[in-house]
Structure 1
Amino acid sequence: MWLVLQLSAQFAHHRTTWPPDTDFTGNVDELPENKEGIPIGELSGVHWLRAAPKSFRKHLVRIYKKYGKPIYVTENGCPCPGEDKMSREESIKDEFRQRYLREHLDALVEAIQDGAKVSGYFGWSFMDNLEWSDGYGIRFGVTHTDYDTLERTPKNSALMIKDMIKERTI
């Protein structure tokens, strides 16, 4: 048995009103900032996703300690701020995504060192593609896709991941 998780760090605030019949979050508001207005992490290219590697590490350890099952991380990645308006050349540089992935992969390793058993990791996403709620505007991939020609170009983040894996498996 194993756990499949999709994590995104948020602050939670209990609502003082009765929950609606459709409530599935536990009658809480999910907030990107704490009550002092301090954000949980740096804003990515979508309003609901922040770079929060410390929280990622904390969640991995907490979930493993609670359930004791191997964890498979699914869909860890982000779009760069403003990437939907960038040229191919600008998008390929993807410095924000590189930092995001490097910091989150480092946090994953630290969670393993803290005792979490992480059996798999899947980046989000291999290529720019159709995002179910946002069409082709937001680009999550480590490979740039030209939607007119379908030409694919690895972004610097793809090359960085390749180098990180090579360095850590020697």
Structure 2
Amino acid sequence: MTAERNGSPIGPRAASSWLYVYPRGLRELLLYIKIKYKNPVIYITENGMDESNDPTLSLEEALMDTYRIDYFYRHLYYILSALKDGVKVHGYFAWSLLDNFEWSAGYTLRFGINFIDYKDNLKRHQKLSAHWFRNFLRKQ
């Protein structure tokens, strides 16, 4: 597997060296699965991106994850496009609800839409992306 096409990255890299942002690729994958596997029901169980845990950021700065909102918006846009083409996506789960311990990186990366303050008794704070997701889910 590669994160390049014709010698160029397929999209911007997230904090993890293996994670590149390519929303259109999700649509392409869903359409491929539809054709290859006779259009099964699909649940997307993890979709998200990480950021480095930057201890120099204030809490207010750490909660302003506009890039994550853009990530979710664009991926959901392409899922909707695949749905319109008949793909049976029946569920979608953002990665992740909370910042957490990553097996290969420990607490150096943050995936959550909720910030966990590792220095203040694991206190939780909603990031801007959590508010965006709530509003997105309320829309009809």
Contact kept in structure 2, 1:65 and 1:116, CA below 8 Å: no
Deviation at 1:65, TM superposition (A): 2.2
1:153 and 2:125 matched: yes
What TM-score, normalized to structure 1? 0.76
- Match in the other structure for 1:125: 96
**1:106 corresponds to which letter in structure 2?**
Y
- 51, 71, 84: which is aligned to 2:53? 84
CA distance in 2, matches of 1:77, 1:91: 17
- Match in the other structure for 1:49: 19
**1:157 corresponds to which letter in structure 2?**
S
**1:51 corresponds to which letter in structure 2?**
V
Q: Secondary structure at the match of 1:129?
A: coil
Deviations 1:9-33 (A, max 9, x none): xxxxxxxxxxxxxxxxxxxxx2211
The count of corresponding residues between Structure 1 and Structure 2 is 136
- Unpaired runs of 5+ residues, structure 2, are none
- Unpaired runs of 5+ residues, structure 1, are 1-29
CA distance in 1, matches of 2:44, 2:129: 18
Q: Secondary structure at the match of 1:105?
A: helix
> 1:93-132, aligned counterparts within 5 Å?
93-132=64-103
Contact kept in structure 2, 1:112 and 1:118, CA below 8 Å: yes
**2:53 corresponds to which letter in structure 1?**
D
Deviations 1:60-116 (A, max 9, x none): 111122212100101100013xx3115232221011111111101111111101110
CA distance in 2, matches of 1:54, 1:135: 30
Contact kept in structure 2, 1:142 and 1:155, CA below 8 Å: yes
- 30, 55, 58: which is aligned to 2:28? 58
What TM-score, normalized to structure 2? 0.91
CA distance in 2, matches of 1:158, 1:50: 22
Superposition RMSD on alpha carbons, in Å? Answer: 1.3
Contact kept in structure 2, 1:64 and 1:71, CA below 8 Å: no
Identity in percent: 39
CA distance in 2, matches of 1:136, 1:93: 19
* Structure having greater relative contact order (Cα 8 Å, sep ≥ 6): 2
Structure exhibiting the larger radius of gyration computed from Cα positions:
1
Q: Secondary structure at the match of 2:125?
A: strand
CA distance in 2, matches of 1:146, 1:79: 16
Q: Secondary structure at the match of 2:92?
A: strand
